[in-house]
Amino acid sequence: MTLGLKGKVCVVTGASSGIGRATAMGLGALGASVVAVMHSQSLKAESAMEKIEARSKEGAGSATAMYVDLSSQASIRQLAEDFDKRFDRLDVLVNNAGVNNSRKTMTADGFESTFAINVLAPFLLTNLLLPKMKVSSPSRLVNVSSNAARGSSIDFDNLQGEKKFSMWTNYGQSKLALNMLTLEFARRLQGTGVTANFLHPGLIRTNLVRDMNPAAQAMYSLIKLFFASPEKGARTSIHVASAPELEGVSGKFFSNGKVEAAPKASYDEATAGRLWRICEELTGMRASI
């Protein structure tokens, strides 16, 4: 069961393709005013907006495109500033965008890209938009994680591949970090009317691993034939963002639309607290919650 979202403002990052585009389309079909956050203006972005706008029109919703480079903290801050000027409320924030880099690359800010985009970006954007979410409460923070977090651990000496970078190790660690931060948001936001939950969308055909080498890309192209569609992957995000029975539910992990136990390491509050302080330091964002 989903909640009609007429009059609600929903932000979805990574909306130019895959699960993000399907999520934006689904929320628009429920009547939301969808803010589709994309990397840049491009033919792909224009095509995505056409689809999102069409579905939004069907549901009497609306769609607005905004752009951000999630590897740049200045760009994230500009996005938040622009959003504040254009919208007077924020009911749902879906941090969907993510990367899985096959090699270590650094952002212009000097951070390893997987950690910067998968961890620092949602931490910073959420904290910047929280004041608007609080005045719009009840509101929802929805973070798209992955079961790649299972079996992972936080190595504070190798958060950004300082010792060794491995595509799957660092990706899994980044998703575990996102789990921990989501639960920390849930703890800190108790009593504010803002809930924080996270989810695994399933094995989905996306371009998340577009940075793989040619041989790995070829293998992935075969394997992903057995994966589910982005539309199916978006179902859990849409459910967590809109289901009326989840009003007030916070600090939960969802998979296939149901609450499940997250990877055990996600619940380590001491590690989460340390990670939170590191994110504050690296983003210069001293959270007020």
Domain containing residue 160: CATH number: 3.40.50.720
Annotated catalytic residue: which of 67, 171, 220, 267?
Answer: 171
Assess if residue 2 is contained within a domain: no
- Tens of pLDDT along the chain (289 residues) come to 455 799 999 999 999 999 999 999 999 999 999 999 999 999 999 999 999 999 999 999 999 999 999 999 999 999 999 999 999 999 999 999 999 999 999 999 999 999 999 999 999 999 999 999 999 999 999 999 999 999 999 999 999 999 999 999 999 999 999 999 999 999 999 999 999 999 999 755 455 555 555 655 555 454 544 445 778 989 999 999 999 999 999 999 999 999 999 999 999 999 999 999 999 999 999 866 7
Residue 289 lies in a domain: no
- 74: how many CB neighbours lie within 10 A of its CB? 10
Question: 145 is in which domain, residue-wise?
Answer: 9-283
Residue 238 near residue 150, CB atoms below 8 Å = no
Provide the domain count of the chain. 1
Query: Quick check: is 205 in a domain?
Result: yes
Residue type, 57: K
- List of residues 6+ apart from 277 with CB closer than 8 A: none
Decide if 279 is inside a domain.
Answer: yes
Cα Rg of the chain (Å, integer): 17
- Any idea which residue has 């790649």 for tokens? 148
218-234 burial, b at 16+ Cβ within 10 Å, e below that, comes to eebeeeeeeeeebbbbb
Token duo for residue 22: 């399907």
Residue 23 is assigned to a structural domain of this protein: yes
Q: In the annotation, is 171 catalytic? A: yes
